[in-house]
Amino acid sequence: MSSLLRFAISLSNLCDQICATTKSFAVRASGGGGGAEATETAVVEKPRLRRFEVLVGSPMPFGATVMDGGVNFAIHSSGAVSATLCLMSVSDLEELERTEPDWKQNRVTEQINFDPLINKTGDIWHAFLKGDFVDMLYGYKFDGKFSPGEGHYYDSSRILLDPYAKAVISREQYGTLGPDGNCWPQMAGMVPSADNAFDWEGDLPLSNSQRDLIIYEMHVRGFTKHESSNTSYPGTYRGVVEKLDHLKELGINCIELMPCQEYNELEYFSYNSVLGDYRMNFWGYSTLNYFSPMLRYSYAGTRNCGRDAINEVKFLVIMDVVFNHTAEGNEKGPTISFRGVDNSVYYMLAPKPLGCCQCVRGCDRRRYPNDRHPLSSPPLIDMISNDPILRGVKLIAEAWDAGGLYQVGSFPHWGIWSEWNGKYRDIVRQFIKGTDGFSGAFAECLCGSPNLYQQGGRKPWNSINFVCAHDGFTLADLVTYNKKHNLANGEDNMDGESHNNSWNCGQSLVLFSCKIYYDHFAGRRICKSSGEAIKEKANAELFPLPHGLSSLDDFPTADRLQWHGHAPGTPDWSETSRFVAFSLIDSAKREIYIAFNTSHLPVTVALPERPGFRWEPLVDSSKPTPYDFLSSDVPERDTAIKQYAHFLDANLQLPVAVPPNTAPASAGIFAMEESMVMRLRAIFLDVNRLFDARAVAVFSSSRFKYFNFDACAGNIWN
């Protein structure tokens, strides 16, 4: 069974169990922050309803861990002078409410005081408990110095979430306030049991080479929440499982999940008068707990994921994890977990309050046995790179931060880190836009950005190539707007990047680049714009070209690369050049010719002469969908001409007459094929081509059906 499928099943089953536990549970935390001020609920002690045998326990592993005969609790707190384990049970609270009407919920039903002489090793507090843990929840209270100026926030009146909790109880339904209208319900950890352990059945991470990845950035809720996804469980982990075949159809082999650790979507909860709705933290880059799946991405009451139906689908899984801040925010934010447990250990503190987010010091990869982790502004890179466990995980860095630090190409990599190539995005957008002086830089991008990565000993596939991600313009915005239109966010269009270099930027060129293609779509043939779903007709035009290119196989790798201009072998790298073309030839003499014309005028070029071969166009971005990508659905030349003419007659109301050996003004991906093996795939064949303005052209050679844009110029440096 695929790692992704098992991962989704694990998350979904765990969240279903959490949902069943949290039906009657609601507690509140003290502290402020977010869109609404949190209120404090006093902890009222009550005679014990259960009895636990308390033993010494073990300082490792951290968190609550099922062991033979009971559960071990361990937590690090260096400055605390006392520690108390607080246990709560839904059934106990319900019984108290039934038998004692004046007894309210939100109370602790069991407290275990740790003996510092017995239940403490170094700075780790620990205990082993034997007893009945059915439906049991837990948290901690710590007493110690309260001095924010020194970085200490100990407060024995607060129940804190265990940073190593494996499941978090919070609100049950996405985007709903509690009965008291509080945006910050207290988070309680769920005591694990042997019954809720997930069986991975010996499944191991896939060993796909990083050079072959086509990455799909996915928001678990956004991916299937729109009605067009036609899923039984929209907006959930199970909805993702339902759409694995769709991703396979796209040619995707790797999925990057945007944050799916527990976070508070109501962190910035406020009314948006523009949309007539409430503003939420949708992306999830504000983690509450790193080891607990986002509860509200589950679909309560459904426990069968249908493993057998799709167990042959294989995807690598990347988890997007942000460590440069948490939901506790700056020193004015709510105290939920890390700050109250051990602020100076869990956070990297500035000498003076910054009024911004703090960096989290560390995490544990063992809790998420997936394939890879991209880290936003990761600290302690040297320790991570040499960690015996983390070193085996291919790591991706977003090498810039909100403070202005920008390290794309200079990020300390230790030979194992890849990077989001933000320079690729900016250069490609400017070249496609038609900005002067970018043809040479664009060519470097096509070759895997050797100017950034070759000298440091890295490979082309250490560059994660993308033109759109969740940051900034989405793909639909990029090909629609010249400037941002974020008024619907309710922040007076002040949020978001203003420097977008947008001008109908083509997504297909990323597939020609070496090496890794990174994409961000929002769902089933849906390309999201800010605040709205683009209409289906527009989506249908955005879908086929990247879809067709990424699904091709058997592409000739670059044994030889040659750059071209208007004439073969004469590239133009001048300041005003807006035409870039190159060809790749492998040992079997298969050849592909790819060209980009980003000027406002068409240009005529001569294709390389290849005696005994003829050129075939495969892709023509100047044509309307579905004629921009010519697949095996158009098996004969005459049929293709008729279909194209019929399309123009029906949609453009223009008469069309296409002579047998002439070409209308356009551009295309050309295939060169032996004359005796004619497999006509296109409308026209000619050596001299007129490339339409603002178009991408690709031609290819030899006898192959579909091919995979795997290498392009990538083998030129390796």
pLDDT band per the 50, 70, 90 thresholds, residue 381: confident
Q: How far apart are CA 10 and CA 25, in angstroms?
A: 23
- Domains of the chain, start order: 10-196 (2.60.40.10), 377-520 (no CATH), 560-716 (2.60.40.1180)
Q: How far apart are CA 430 and CA 441, in angstroms?
A: 10
Interacting residues of 374 by C-beta distance below 8 A, sequence separation 6+: 256, 318, 319, 320, 321, 395, 396, 397, 398, 420
**Between residues 591 and 559, which one has the greater pLDDT?**
591
Among 524, 526, 11, 26, which Cα is nearest to 297's?
Answer: 11
- pLDDT at position 686, please? 31
- Residue 156 pLDDT more than 70? yes
Handedness of CA 262, 497, 525, 216 (dihedral sign): negative
What does the CA dihedral 125, 128, 132, 138 come to, rounded to 10 degrees?
A: 10
Which helix or strand (DSSP H or E) is residue 237 part of?
Answer: helix 237-242
Q: How far apart are CA 238 and CA 236, in angstroms?
A: 5
- Residue 73 pLDDT more than 90? yes
- Residue 397 pLDDT more than 80? yes
Pairing of strands 254-257, 214-218: parallel
DSSP-derived letter for residue 371 is S
**Between residues 689 and 615, which one has the greater pLDDT?**
615
- pLDDT at position 518, please? 52
Counted residue by residue, the chain has a size of 718
Q: Is 489 helix (H, G, I), strand (E, B) or coil?
A: helix
Q: How far apart are CA 420 and CA 50, in angstroms?
A: 52
In this predicted model, what pLDDT tens digit does every residue of 100-155 receive, in sequence order? 555 444 467 789 999 999 999 999 999 999 988 888 899 999 999 999 989 999 99
Most confident range (mean pLDDT) of 59-73, 376-390, 695-709 is: 59-73
Q: How far apart are CA 2 and CA 311, in angstroms?
A: 6
SS (HEC) of 640-671: HHHHHHHHHHHHCCCCCCCCCCCCCCCCCEEE
**Between residues 116 and 46, which one has the greater pLDDT?**
116
Q: How far apart are CA 300 and CA 236, in angstroms?
A: 10
- pLDDT at position 276, please? 74
With 0-12 / 13-18 / 19 or more C-beta atoms within 10 angstroms meaning exposed / middle / buried, residue 40 is exposed
Question: Across the chain, what does the average pLDDT equal?
Answer: 70
**Between residues 530 and 456, which one has the greater pLDDT?**
456
- pLDDT at position 353, please? 47
What percent of the chain is modeled with pLDDT above 90?
21
CB atoms within 10 A of CB 181: 8
Q: In sequence order, what DSSP letters do the residues of 554-568 get, joined into one string? A: -PPP-SEEEEESSST
Assigned token pair, 447: 């070759």
Judge contact between 62 and 72, C-beta under 8 A. no
Q: CA geometry: angle at 96 spanning 135 and 167, to 5°?
A: 20
- Residue 558 pLDDT more than 60? no
- Residue 49 pLDDT more than 80? no
- Residue 41 pLDDT more than 60? no
State CA 717 to chain mean position distance: 29
- Residue 714 pLDDT more than 70? no
Judge contact between 278 and 260, C-beta under 8 A. no
Lowest mean pLDDT among 7-11, 87-91, 167-171: 7-11
Q: How far apart are CA 101 and CA 120, in angstroms?
A: 39
Most confident range (mean pLDDT) of 70-84, 339-353, 529-543 is: 70-84
pLDDT band per the 50, 70, 90 thresholds, residue 45: very low
- pLDDT at position 47, please? 42
Q: How far apart are CA 75 and CA 188, in angstroms?
A: 15
- Residue 657 pLDDT more than 70? no
With 0-12 / 13-18 / 19 or more C-beta atoms within 10 angstroms meaning exposed / middle / buried, residue 622 is buried
Mean pLDDT over 254-273 rounds to 86
Mean pLDDT over 200-210 rounds to 72
List phi, psi (to 5°) of 396.
-125, 135
- pLDDT at position 11, please? 56
**Between residues 86 and 299, which one has the greater pLDDT?**
86
Judge contact between 222 and 53, C-beta under 8 A. no
In this predicted model, what pLDDT tens digit does every residue of 294-347 receive, in sequence order? 989 987 644 333 333 333 457 888 889 888 889 998 888 899 999 999 999 999
- pLDDT at position 519, please? 54
**Between residues 132 and 511, which one has the greater pLDDT?**
132
* 4 backbone φψ class: left, alpha, beta (φ>0; ψ -120 to 50): alpha
- Residue 243 pLDDT more than 80? yes
Q: CA geometry: angle at 309 spanning 306 and 312, to 5°?
A: 120
pLDDT band per the 50, 70, 90 thresholds, residue 601: confident
